[in-house]
Amino acid sequence: MGSYVLRRLLQMIPVIIGATFLIFAMVFGIGDPAAGRCGERACPEAFLVQFRQEYNLDEPLIVQYGLYMAKLLTGDFGESFSGLSVAEELINRWPTTIRLAVIAVCFEALVGIAAGILAALRKGRFLDYLVTLSSLLVISIPVFVVGSLSQLVFGIRLGIFPVTATEGGWFDLLLPGLVLGSFSVAYIARLMRSTMIENLRSDYVRTARAKGLGPGRTVGVHTLRNSMIPAITYIGYDLGALMGGAVVTERIFNINGIGGFLFYGINTKDGTIVVGTVTCLVLVYLLANLLVDVLYGVLDPRISHD
């Protein structure tokens, strides 16, 4: 187990280096690194001089990268054109986005898994068709459409939820959280249903029945444990991916989280914000992946006990 974790950690290092280098190279290696840093206008000369110095643009690319990474690791994500410290802004905005992601993940886990299990157990009956068809429909609606429409219906027409969530309280974030999790909830329901159906037909479930175990143990212990592995793994990845996906939801509901910050950066053409936020989100995503891989090893002994 220990060696498995270590191996995963070591395998992750080149990926992290590669991914950050990729982003770095796109920003600094191709084209004009100072483009799109200063809003709609061209950058003033003084800014360019300072910019070249700050990012060591006179050094070779690889040295630039090293110095850039060293900055990132010390938490220096640069300053926006309007003088905001990107790192500080990110730290201030994390709690909101995390709250949003937590709501989404809880929604996915509870509703998605439950729906998938029920559909598998009632395979071929009404409930199964209900889950299968509704998840098919939900998976087809892009999150920004779900967001805009539910804002229209629940926020504006019915008035159940606040139309925007600028304050970022738990209740304010409830509707945006459900919206953010909508794709995954449907995906997990489908995933859970198909793994569950497959496992219910497995030899070891037949063995469980041959052991004289009741349906509670056969399904609850012998089928569920195995069937949860893909869904839990997916939720783990999603926790990382959701933070990025939040840019859409936060734009629609006007939320002051990380995603809202990224959208602000895009809108005001502030490259430091865009690059810093994207890098940060990719790192979070990779970290979540690493945790999931470790978790996967814990859940499935076949992976880690070799």
Region 41-100 residues binding other proteins, contact defined as CB under 8 A? none
Strand partners, 85: 79
| CA-based torsion, 134, 226, 243, 30: positive or negative | negative
- Site stretch for other proteins (CB under 8 A), options 41-49, 66-74, 91-99, 271-279: 271-279
Size of the residue set binding other proteins (CB under 8 A): 91
125 binds other proteins, rule: CB under 8 A:
no
The piece of 51-59, 84-92, 96-104, 276-284 that touches other proteins (CB under 8 A) is: 276-284
Q: Which stretch binds other proteins (CB under 8 A): 47-55, 67-75, 172-180, 230-238?
A: 230-238
Least separation in angstroms between residue 231's CB and other proteins is 11
Q: Is 247 in the site for other proteins (CB under 8 A)?
A: yes
Tokens of 222: 């012998």
**Distance in angstroms (rounded) separating the CA atoms of residues 66 and 76:** 14
**How long is the chain?**
306
Judged by beta carbon, residue 168 or residue 236, the one nearer other proteins is 236
- The rounded distance, in Å, linking the Cα atoms of 204 and 12 is 34
Minimum separation from the CB atom of position 272 to other proteins (A): 12
Residue 278 dihedral angles phi and psi, to the nearest 5°: -60, -45
CB burial readout 26-48, b (16+ within 10 A) else e? ebbeeeebbebbbeeeebeeeeb
Closest CA to 177 of 266, 286, 99, 262: 99
Three-state DSSP at 79 gives strand
Q: How far is the CB of 99 from other proteins (least distance, A)?
A: 19
- Stretches 42-50, 57-65, 83-91, 281-289: which one binds other proteins (CB under 8 A)? 281-289
49, 152, 158, 160: which one binds other proteins (CB under 8 A): 152
Q: What is the number of other CB atoms lying within 10 angstroms of the CB of residue 175?
A: 22
Cβ(276)–Cβ(90) below 8 Å: yes
Given candidates 26, 61, 62, 91, which one binds other proteins under the rule CB under 8 A? 26
CA–CA gap between residue 306 and residue 299 (Å, rounded): 14
Q: How far is the CB of 80 from other proteins (least distance, A)?
A: 14
Minimum separation from the CB atom of position 301 to other proteins (A): 4
Candidates 174, 252, 255, 258; binder of other proteins (CB under 8 A) is: 252
Of 178, 262, 272, 276, the one binding other proteins (CB under 8 A) is 262
